[in-house]
Chains A and B, each alone.
Chain A
Amino acid sequence: MKVLIAVKRVVDYNVKVRVKPDHTGVDLVNVKMSINPFDEIAVEEGVRLLESGQAKELIAVSIGPLQAQETLRSALALGVNRGILVQTDETVEPLHVAKILKVLVEREKPDLILLGKQAIDDDCNQTGQMLGALLGWPQGTFISKLVLQNSEAIVTREVDGGHETLKISLPAVITTDLRLNVPRYPKLPNIMKAKQKPLEILSLETLGIVLSPHHKILKVAEPQTRKAGIKVKDVADLVHHLHEEARIL
């Protein structure tokens, strides 16, 4: 079985982002970039399928600037076999990503596509579902458990009311939630080996894709900040304030 995994290069989750003073975006200069944490979970799940013999080949795809090669190398260091970078400096929206991935899926013919459920920069949570629709494939989103058997995937999804279990015939699109697994740390020899693994760089022109923006960013602002309130000295003081001042009890 062939598995395609999409990975995005994003601001590291430990970085507190700052809005640029001119309100055109967030400041990305000299900010640490990493693989999107949800995508890292997708990579780990793919590697486990490879190790258990259920997957024969793992391909990681990233779309973005040349630096996204680093993101692909980190996926290769975890155990992915080869990488594909679709290089572009344009702003790519989730629908664009889904369209690009669709072209690559038609080329690579994977049986399973794994993606993080959302990227922690734009928080869109769209790409996997859009790709499923464009391909006409079924989907399992926000999953916390994956079992493959007889060309079917049994997935447990994290939904607002608890959990939902679905049976999905392959090929299918699966998006990962936080509790699916805990990604391993890459070992140094594997980081070195990853540098030798194949990494193909494609352009949008080669793939015959033209992106047209669906929206324009007018402004990026800081959220309204909450001011710290007061320290209360004990429970009686707290209840007094909630009752008399906030009038909420």
Chain B
Amino acid sequence: MTVLIVGEHDNTILTPSSLHMVSTAQKLGGDIDLLIAGEGCLQIAQKACKIEGLRKVLLLDKPELGHHGAESMGEAVVQIGKSYDYIMAPATTFGKNFLPRVAALLDVAQISDVIGIESKDTFVRPIYAGNAIVTLQSNDALKVMTVRPTAFSAVSVGSGTATLEYVSASFTARSSIFMDRSAVKSGRPELTAARVVVSGGRGFQNAEKFKMIEVLADQLDAAIGASRAAVDAGYVSNDYQVGQTGKIVAPELYIAIGISGAIQHLAGMKDSKVIVAINKDPDAPIFQIADYSLVGDLFDIIPQLIQSLQDLKT
């Protein structure tokens, strides 16, 4: 048994999703290799050798892969991954973009958003925005899957002894050309990896008032999320969106403020360990899944909460 994990990174930092996928792969057993494909990413590969549980780190350093274009990534992962029994990538916009191309070129299915491994050929994934959970048995010899990182624990980094190996690939596909990427740098923890997430919805009324949430997030060292309604209304940009079509989060603590709790939003956060909901509507559906429900006006509650948290620290 061999598993190839395609690591997500920006040529500087490897995201924690790889650590989660190693533990996913360990449930399958066998040798686990991590592919670092990109441009100028030697340091990432060197650091990744310390990840526990890996046999090899494969470094594919090519200018064609500098922006992880789907066409080149697809071709590269096919060439390197075809001799493996499993190929996995994170179920993020990174993995979702190229992995289906890999599966199609290998003439196998892709299993999307895996949240459980039942056996070597049987996997669990959500459908209908998480309103049903399907268990399916694959009959492909090579299994290609995207993995939801938050559904699996992370292995540690430090004592790993993987060997670094250089690999190569050739590119023939007609490719899209990268032009620009908006870099959102907030200094806050990454939304899908944060211990605490504070999310806001339409209850904030406008973009200016939504900023209140930042002070609260600072107190909790939290990432900031938003409902689709808040994103659509322009309070924050799309990368804040938590939900079926946004990001899937499962922090220790999720605080939903002014969010009614549409199915699509719940699909993105209902696996959080503790959920707090603050809403002025006592019948808001979010209260049906919250561990702690507080009915009231968020504009009164947030300043009080900030004060209480400050008091708690001192």
Contact = CB atoms under 8 A, between A and B. Distances in A.
* Dominant secondary structure of chain A at its interface with chain B: mixed
A136 B112 contact: no
B103 interface: yes
B292 interface: yes
A207 B146 CA distance: 31
Interface string B136-159: 111110000000000000000000
Contacts of A213: 139
Contacts of B232: 178-179
A228 B287 contact: yes
A242 B263 contact: no
A41 B176 CA distance: 22
Most chain A Cβ neighbours within 10 Å, of B122, B173, B177? B177
Given A123-B128, A124-B110, A216-B139, A242 B247 contact: no
Interface in A193-249: 213-223, 226, 228-232, 234-236, 238-239, 241-243, 246, 248-249
A174 B1 CA distance: 36
Given A223-B126, A242-B274, 15 more contacts: A95-B103, A95-B110, A123-B113, A133-B105, A160-B192, A160-B247, A179-B231, A215-B109, A216-B139, A217-B136, A218-B136, A226-B270, A248-B274, A249-B253, A249-B312
B280 interface: no
Contacts of A239: 305, 308-309, 312
Interface residues of A, number: 80
A162 B179 CA distance: 14
Interface of B: 10, 67, 69-71, 74, 92-94, 96-105, 107-113, 122, 126-140, 173-184, 192, 220, 228, 231-232, 237-239, 244-245, 247, 252-253, 263, 270, 273-276, 287-296, 301, 304-305, 308-309, 312
B293 A177 contact: no
A130 B174 contact: no
A120 B263 CA distance: 12
Nearest to B273: A248
Contacts of B220: 249
A93 B103 CA distance: 12
Contacts of A172: 176
Contacts of B136: 215-218
A215 B139 contact: yes
B309 A249 contact: yes
